[in-house]
Amino acid sequence: MDTYSRFPLTLVRGKGLWVWDDEGRRYLDCVAGIAVCTLGHSDRVLRRNLCHQLGTLQHVSNLYRIPEQEALARAICERSCADKVFFCNSGAEANEAAIKLARKHGHVVRGIERPVILTAEASFHGRTLAAVSATGQPKYHQNFEPMVEGFRYFPYNDTAAFEALLAECEAEGPRVAAVLLEPLQGEGGVNPGDPAFFQRVRQLCDERSILLILDEVQVGVGRSGRWWGHERLGIEPDAFTLAKGLGGGIPIGALAVKASADLLRAGEHASTFGGNPFACRAGLTVIQEIERRDLLTHVEAMATCLREQLEALVQRHPTLLERQRGWGLLQGLVLREEAPSAPDLVKAAMAEGLLLVPAGPRVVRFVPPLVIRPRHIRKAIKRLERALLTLA
Ligand SMILES: *Cc1c(COP(=O)(O)O)cnc(C)c1O
């Protein structure tokens, strides 16, 4: 179906940071399938482990115990505040599980009949009906009303607005089950969370036994330079969701919860494919390789390198470029009103052999594989600058 306005580009092969189109042209990939290909393309270890898993066992069912799933759950819990994990197949699906968890918490812990979940404006939580209802962007709701009820929105990082909405919702007693937030808004324009705001939200949630759930689908699994984006905000969530980078290109999603938020019981949620041996082998390999190659330290170094070069680019083109923003390997270049639009710049960069992705009309987003090297970053900036000059 015509659900995508695709670029006229057909990619047929990839290796590391590079992909090739059907005419043999090579592109430097700073998209990584939108923050998915954590280890780059065609990684040797991921390929070896997945081939081995294909030859051992691909899929059974959650009717039975699955050792790879238990090992991946353990790997996530050992590196986070979580105690239990539910596996599914995508970010939207992970958020659906989180929304069900939040509603059950509202009913059984807070005694609310019609629980409400607070989410941010300009957020992005996926395209299934509840996840898109959670998404605070009216353009994604249009033509699909009625939305799933029970979501209220407030401006991201705005403590006063959050406090006012919470007070309004709870004026006549408990009404709010959870707050669902991205540690950094990716799709909504690469807006990093403000630690002071998140710490205040954490405090207010604690006071009322409201769940704080973080959507780590884009920033989780090393992209922030820490295992989880919330480590940059100085808080622990009650639950968080993962997907994109976790499988390094194999579809997988997860909802991770603390023991105190471990509320879903047998028969209350399920997925046929969720957590199968193949997908979990991919997730395990990604986590093991991040550790073995010390990629968290590497991401911090590469993030500094990328930030400095984007800032230098902004200084060279102050009439077109406004600023760099974001952290880790999730950074955005904000374009001025007078500059070409982000989609036009992305198209021009493609002609220079560089893949980037817009985050809204005025932000170009960098979400490269975590294995990017300084030489790739230098090349990317050069190509981006050439693209900018062809449009200016
Ligand atoms: C991409 C994304 C989603 C949706 O993930 P899908 O796998 O496309 O369903 C949800 N939340 C955030 C923060 C995302 O970036």
Pocket around ligand 1: residues whose beta carbon is below 6 Å from it? 90-92, 95, 124-126, 182, 186-187, 215, 217-218, 243-244
Atom of ligand 1 nearest to the CA of 95: 10
Centre of ligand 1 to C-alpha 215, Å, is: 8
Correct CATH for 11-30+294-391 of 3.40.50.720, 2.70.150.10, 3.20.20.80, 3.90.1150.10: 3.90.1150.10
In the numeric block, the tokens 């691909």 are attached to 58
Is 362's pLDDT higher than 90? yes
- pLDDT tens-digit series, residues 89-146: 999 999 999 999 999 999 999 999 999 999 999 999 999 999 999 999 999 999 999 9
Atom of ligand 1 nearest to the CA of 131: 10
364 band by pLDDT with thresholds 50, 70 and 90: very high
What is the model's pLDDT at position 162?
Answer: 98
| CATH architecture, range 46-292 | 3-Layer(aba) Sandwich (3.40)
Instruction: Give the mutation target among 31, 125, 140, 240 for probing the ligand 1 site: most ligand atoms within 8 A of CB.
Output: 125
Answer whether 0.85 is exceeded by the pTM. Answer: yes
- pLDDT tens-digit series, residues 346-360: 999 999 999 999 999
Rounded to an integer, the average pLDDT of 173-201 is 98
Is 392's pLDDT higher than 90? no
Instruction: Give the mutation target among 187, 252, 273 for probing the ligand 1 site: most ligand atoms within 8 A of CB.
Output: 187
Structure tokens at 248: 């390094």
The closest alpha carbon to 206, from 258, 133, 263, 151, belongs to 258
For the chain, what is the mean pLDDT?
Answer: 98
Rounded to an integer, the average pLDDT of 140-169 is 98
The closest alpha carbon to 231, from 214, 251, 206, 254, belongs to 214
Instruction: Give the mutation target among 218, 219, 330, 367 for probing the ligand 1 site: most ligand atoms within 8 A of CB.
Output: 218
Nearest CA to ligand 1 atom 5: 91
- pLDDT tens-digit series, residues 274-310: 999 999 999 999 999 999 999 999 999 999 999 999 9
What is the model's pLDDT at position 43?
Answer: 98
Atom of ligand 1 nearest to the CA of 126: 4
Is 59's pLDDT higher than 90? yes
Centre of ligand 1 to C-alpha 241, Å, is: 10
- Who contacts 176 (Cβ-Cβ below 8 Å, separation ≥6)? 106, 112, 115, 116, 117, 118, 166, 169, 170, 208, 210
Q: List phi, psi (to 5°) of 177.
A: -90, -40
The closest alpha carbon to 220, from 94, 44, 324, belongs to 94
Parse the chain into domains and list their residue ranges: 11-30+294-391, 46-292
Residues in the chain: 392
- pLDDT tens-digit series, residues 213-254: 999 999 999 999 999 999 999 999 999 999 999 999 999 999
Centre of ligand 1 to C-alpha 22, Å, is: 28
The closest alpha carbon to 35, from 96, 94, 91, 93, belongs to 91
Nearest CA to ligand 1 atom 11: 125
Q: State the Cα torsion 232-125-151-262 to the nearest 10°.
A: -70
